[in-house]
Amino acid sequence: MGILFGAQIAQKIGDALSDAGKPFMRQDIEAKRPSEVALFSGTVVALGQKHGIKTPVNAMLYDNIMAIEKSYRGY
């Protein structure tokens, strides 16, 4: 079997994925369920604020996904 490198790893992962597969967050949005974004990105943002560390990527993800969720929850 050996060790896989670079393109071999990408090919092996691609072969294992289904075209019908969707990430859980996408499934949550399609089903209009709350996602885990508050738990993950929200925690990173809060800890960053607490310790004076900027977390712009997590803040952007958190804000955008929460806006999507609010749109279907009627907030």
Q: Residues 15-71: pLDDT tens digits?
A: 777 667 788 888 888 899 888 888 889 999 999 999 999 999 999 989 998 998 888
pLDDT the model gives residue 45: 95
Structure tokens, 9: 């790893």
Q: Tell whether 50 is covered by a domain.
A: yes
The more confident residue out of 36 and 74 is: 36
- The boundaries of the domain holding residue 28 are 19-73
d(CA 27, CA 45): 24
Please name the residue that has the structure tokens 């090919």: 11
Q: Residue 56 domain-assigned? A: yes
State if pTM tops 0.75: no
Q: What is the pLDDT of residue 73?
A: 73
Number of domains in the chain: 1
- Residue 47 belongs to some domain of the structure: yes
69 lies in some domain: yes
Q: Could you tell me the CATH number of the domain that includes residue 60?
A: 1.10.1040.10
- 4 in a structural domain: no
